[in-house]
Structures are given as C-alpha cells and as structure tokens.
Amino acid sequence: MKNARMVVEKNFKLSEVDPKLFSSFIEHIGRAVYTGIYEPGHKTADEQGFRQDVIDLVKDLNVTLVRYPGGNFLSGYNWVDGIGPKEDRPVRLDLAWHTIEPNEIGIDEFVDWAKKANTAVMGAVNMGTGTPRSAGELLEYCNFPGGTYWSDLRIKNGHKEPHNIKTWCIGNEMDGPWQICHLDAVDYGKKALETAKIMKWIDNSIELVVCGSSHSLMPTYPEWDRIVLEHTYEAVDYLSLHRYYENFDNNKEFLASFLDMDNFIRSVCATADYVKALKRSKKTMYLSFDEWNIWYQKKQKEHPWQQAPEILEDQYSLLDAITFGGLAITLLNNSDRVKIACLAQLVNTIAPIFTEKGGRIIKQSIYYPFRDISKFGRGTVLKPIVIAPAIETSYGDATMLPTSVVYNEEAGELNVFCVNISEEEDLLLNMDLRSFGDLEMVEHIILNGDDLHAVNTFDQPDIVKPSNLPVKDGKVDSLEMVIPKVSWNVIRFKTK
C-alpha cells in the first residue's frame, strides 16, 4: 500500500461553484427524446406523454440546466417545425443523424418537461442552416412577454408566460466539418457576433455561449478559439468546450483522462486570456464545458431512415464510472473558469439513464458519480494540498489521487471527492482537517468492485452501484483511511 497526505484549510478557497456546473443535455438524437423522455402509451406516461419514471430519475440527479435541442441536430433544425398543433407539424429528415424527425416535441413541450423534472432549459440557436434572424425570432418567441408576432404565437400555442430561457448557445460545434453548413472560424465569428447583437437587443438579460473547439484534437484548435473570440469577445459570456473520452484498451491511460481534460481547460483559458489582453478588456471569459462524458465512438451501424433509431446507446462499466469521476473532479477544480458543464447526454444516448421502449428503466454506472457531485458538490471549492504518488501517462504525470474538496459553509458540510486511479495499489490517506475544528464524519460512499467491466442491465440493474464504508465515530480533526485501488469516493463531514 502506498501513502498519500491531504491538508484541507478552510480559508484556501478556489471558487464558488456555479450551479450550472451540474447541467446536462438532451438532443433530438436516437431515443433520447422519442422513447426516452417522451413515450405516449408507456405505463408511466403523463397526459403530455412524458415518462414519469424518467422524470423521477432526472429529479434525483438534480440537474440544473438541460441543453436542448442539440448537438449536431441543431444545425439543420427549423424550430418553427416544432410549435403549434401537433397534427400540423411537418415530419422532416434529420440529416445529422439520418433519422426521421416527427416534431412531436418542440420548444414548448420541452420547457414543460423541464419544469416537471425540476430543471431548466439551456437554449441553442441554429448557426448551420439557421440565420441570425431565425435565432432572434426563436428568442422573441420564448422570452418576449407578448404583443408581437412571435410572442403572441407562443401565447396562442398555450404558453401565456414567457419561457424566460436565460442561457443560449450560438450554434453547435461549428468548427466540425461534420456539421451541417460548417463554417470556418472567421465566417462563424462574424455570424455569431451578429446573432449575439440581435439576441441581446431582444433580451439583454440573457447569457450567450459561443462555439469553441469541438475537442482538443481538432486540427484547428486553438486557432479556432482565438479567432472566434477576437470577433465576439465583448458580445458573449462563455466559450464552449466539448470532450469525450474512451478506453483504447489501456486502463492506465483511460483512468488518467482527467489530466487531459485539465490540460485542455487550461489551454482554452490561456487562449481566452490572450484575447482579453489583445483587446485590453476587463472582462474574463468563462467556459461552458457543454458536452463531456465517456463515449465509445465506434462507427455507427448503418440504419435505414427511421424514427428514434437505437444509436449511441453506450453501456457504461464500473471502470467508465470511475474514470468519469475523475473528469467530474476536474470540472470542480476548474470552477473558477468553468461555470457551465453539461453531461452529454441524459437519456439513452451516451447517458446515465437508460430506458426500454415500452418497459423498464435503469441507472447506468455513471449515474452515481454524477449524482454525487450534483448533490454534494454545491458550495465553495477549496484548494487542498494533496501529496500522492504520480503515475506516468501520455498526458504527463497524473496524481494517483485526483481530489476535489467542496465546503458548504451554510449547510455545515465538507465533502471530499477522490478517485484512486491505480489498478495495483490501495492508498493509505492521511487527512488533516484541523482548520475546521471538530468534524463529524457522516458518510463514506464508495463505487468500486472486482469486475471493472461490470455493467447494469435491465435484468440485473444493480450490479454496479455505490456502497457505504464504515465511518469513524465521534469528533475528528484528522483521520487515516484506505482508499482502495480503482475507486470513486465521497467522504462527507458535518462541520456543525
């Protein structure tokens, strides 16, 4: 067993966590919407056709915002197809995912669903086939109180009160040649600026996210980000990042994915800060990590044109969940710059929640670390000193114990999240928490197991699930505990 030491000082603060860090994403893709959140005729469906079993789990995940409606789908989507009487809505081809889109769900229904699921919508405007004008019209439809063509149409369609969607993405992954009507950085920068102007003229209380690079391996990264920000810096509030990780049969590298994510965030911040200096701006650009997850991007099987095909339905293992935990820790540890993060996605498509058409629902392994950070990661991220062995990886030397500590002074809670990424060694961790005075240890949640490839299935839904380790009784101001190899841990204390 190796040793690690952690000193947590309550006055060493990194940042308040923005609740938007615990957001997610529903795209019109595969079975995310149709037979995911929406399945009229399902035994739990409500009067609008929304599955109550899905709503219950989304509520349990405590999701702040849900980005909608895409994703790649966004770049070919005409939002007007999704409003008004359902029987009048057109059935369209979705070219992004080779799918038939029935348009039974549109912005009005999605806002209703979000309310039922105790969450809110992060909107997105089409920058592929869409125009600055159509973006403005969508915003007017959603947020303008009434008395204009678009706002009155919303009222006529049954929503008297404005939707008040406060956060909007200006397009999706516009740097990607796979995007419908992909643009180069200069063209996108100009279009995004004009769109931002129109949108903020309509409602200056909104916040806007401009497209950064689709991932750090893009040949245009980070020039794309620099050029886009040079065009839009003062008009937008966040720059987006997307990144998915997968295991290329190398557990050591996979478990160290958090380090690559951290490097990516730092280099995007550096790029944004370069533009800040160039523009002599006083404003700091925040980041919206609005797609992150594990995703096995194997080539999708060809499928005929159809509604709601079973695409991107990854089954997540215990190892995936533990690696995912490292990514979640990295987001918390960058909460001074990353203010929005969307787990991509939420239901069926690369998702923590998985439904059976007409039937059951299960929690995938990644459900648990997401729920933990969303539930216990609200407060102030501290800057602990962690001394732990390092593991050499292609991303650099990765600490064996990625850790994040969140202090919620108001609730009197101190929560330590950590992952032991070693496959070989348990860690004996010595924690020094003296600055808090006497603490009460309330819980040690752990997700680990002998079979790293175990997955939950409809027949065996609880193969991968967290358990609780014994806690130390009485008041503590320091303690020693074993952090088992390949494990996700949440160690919780009451401070009063």
Binding site for ligand AHR (CB under 6 A): 27, 70-72, 172-173, 291, 344-345
Name which of 294, 270, 275 is nearest 351 in CA terms: 294
Tell me the closest approach of the beta carbon of residue 182 to ligand AHR, in angstroms.
Answer: 12
Q: Which is nearer to ligand AHR, 14 or 185 (CB)?
A: 185
**Smaller CB distance to ligand AHR: residue 94 or 253?**
94
Contact (Cβ atoms closer than 8 angstroms) between residue 406 and residue 17? yes
- Shortest CB 370 distance to ligand AHR, Å: 15
Apex 165 CA angle, 160 and 168, nearest 5:
145
How far, CA to CA in Å, does 230 sit from each of 169, 199, 212, 268, 277? 18, 19, 12, 14, 11
In the bound complex, what is the minimum distance in angstroms from residue 100's beta carbon to ligand AHR? 17
Cα–Cα distances in Å, from 208 out to 76, 283, 461?
20, 14, 39
Q: Is 291 a catalytic residue?
A: yes
Catalytic residue among 173, 194, 253, 413: 173
CB of 96 to ligand AHR, least distance (A): 7
Instruction: Between 160 and 298, name the residue whose CB sits nearer to ligand AHR.
Output: 298
Closest contact distance (angstroms) between CB of 128 and ligand AHR is: 12
Q: How far is the CB of 288 from ligand AHR (least distance, A)?
A: 13
**Maximum Cα interatomic distance, the chain, rounded to a whole number of Å:** 70
* Cα three-residue angle 292-293-296, rounded to 5 degrees: 130
The one catalytic residue among 101, 140, 291, 413: 291
Is 137 part of the annotated catalytic residue set? no
By C-beta, is 49 or 71 nearer to ligand AHR?
Answer: 71
Q: Which single residue is written with the structure tokens 């919206």?
A: 288
Position with the least CB separation from ligand AHR: 71
Residue with tokens 């216990």, as numbered in its chain:
376
**69 upstream amide cis, omega within 30 of 0:** yes
Q: Which two tokens stand for residue 288?
A: 């919206």
Whole-number minimum distance, CB 311 to ligand AHR, in Å? 10
Q: Which is nearer to ligand AHR, 172 or 317 (CB)?
A: 172
In terms of CB distance, is 285 or 346 closer to ligand AHR?
Answer: 346
**AA identity, residue 19:** P
**Minimum CB–partner distance for residue 172 and ligand AHR (Å):** 5
Of the two residues 30 and 49, which places its CB atom closer to ligand AHR in the complex? 30
Residue 272 CA to residue 251 CA, distance in Å, equals 33
Q: Which is nearer to ligand AHR, 294 or 486 (CB)?
A: 294
CB contact at 8 A, 163 and 121: yes
Which residues are catalytically annotated? 173, 291
